[in-house]
Structure 1
């Protein structure tokens, strides 16, 4: 059952991309922050694993598979969705993240534990706060990245004119 859950989360998240408008433009714009975020969470997973705060049934191999499927599935895609939905506005970004992180830190983590996907030995409230800190770091990274590499807005009306 845990393998089916992992794969369902991975495939389901990537299927959601079909509903994003301007997929190519959004990926170009938000892939750097999503990869930065995945790298940050990968470091946190390493820390949690080293200090035995994160346990996956089946040992290191299952832990690696679980981390990969969650990071490069729902986590990466969700980052793109949140940035798209918030339109670069911090208040919207914060509200969306608070709602999503509450759902993830409490009921989703509890389901993962119940179905033996993985277990985190950190109180849910602290895990929630870590998720919020990650979100703030991501927003700051995206704003910094946009200043360094500004992306021209697509002008659909003048697209054919030269």
Structure 2
């Protein structure tokens, strides 16, 4: 396990890069359609990470750079990219959207945090319980859908 910990930065960087590479198969119109909402929710998540650091909700042990938290590759990698993919396949179908997000968020909170992030010394929950993080992610889910709804209204899309 100690040997793997030496590669945490590389793992974080590759996770971000491969997430973005997956968008090559998304399609240009879908990318342009869902990117603004993805960027907006990524900024909100970044603000949540700033609050989390001040209130010690969770802690990122791994840093990519002294001024760049380990949360950066998660927010600007899998989080934003998965938001775009989920919107592509579920936008306009609110029940499916909520179900897919519930499954994805549950995998992150109840499996990845314990089985990967904490054990590898990348990050862990400190003063926030898993159910509280699940609720926070659910709020983000609603915000993301709401942002996309507003964007569609402004653009005049159905």
Q: Shorter-chain-normalised TM-score: which range?
A: 0.7 to 0.9
Which is richer in strand? Answer: 2
- For 2:130, the equivalent position in structure 1 comes to 124
For structure 2, list consecutive stretches of 5 or more residues without a partner in the other structure.
Answer: 1-6
Identify which range, 70-79 or 8-17, moves more after superposition.
8-17
User: 2:80 and 2:58 mapped to 1: Cα distance?
Assistant: 20
Count the aligned residue pairs: 150
- For 2:79, the equivalent position in structure 1 comes to 75
Q: How high is the TM-score relative to the length of structure 1?
A: 0.84
Larger-gyration structure (1/2): 1
Offset, 1:29: 0.5
Question: Which one of the candidate residues 108, 112, 117 is aligned to 1:108?
Answer: 112
User: 1:62 and 1:56 mapped to 2: Cα distance?
Assistant: 12
Identify which range, 137-146 or 65-74, moves more after superposition.
65-74
Q: What is the aligned-residue RMSD (CA, Å)?
A: 2.0
For structure 1, list consecutive stretches of 5 or more residues without a partner in the other structure.
Answer: 153-162
User: 1:134 and 1:48 mapped to 2: Cα distance?
Assistant: 15
After TM superposition, the runs of 4+ consecutive aligned structure 1 residues lying more than 3 A away are: 58-63
User: 1:59 and 1:81 mapped to 2: Cα distance?
Assistant: 27
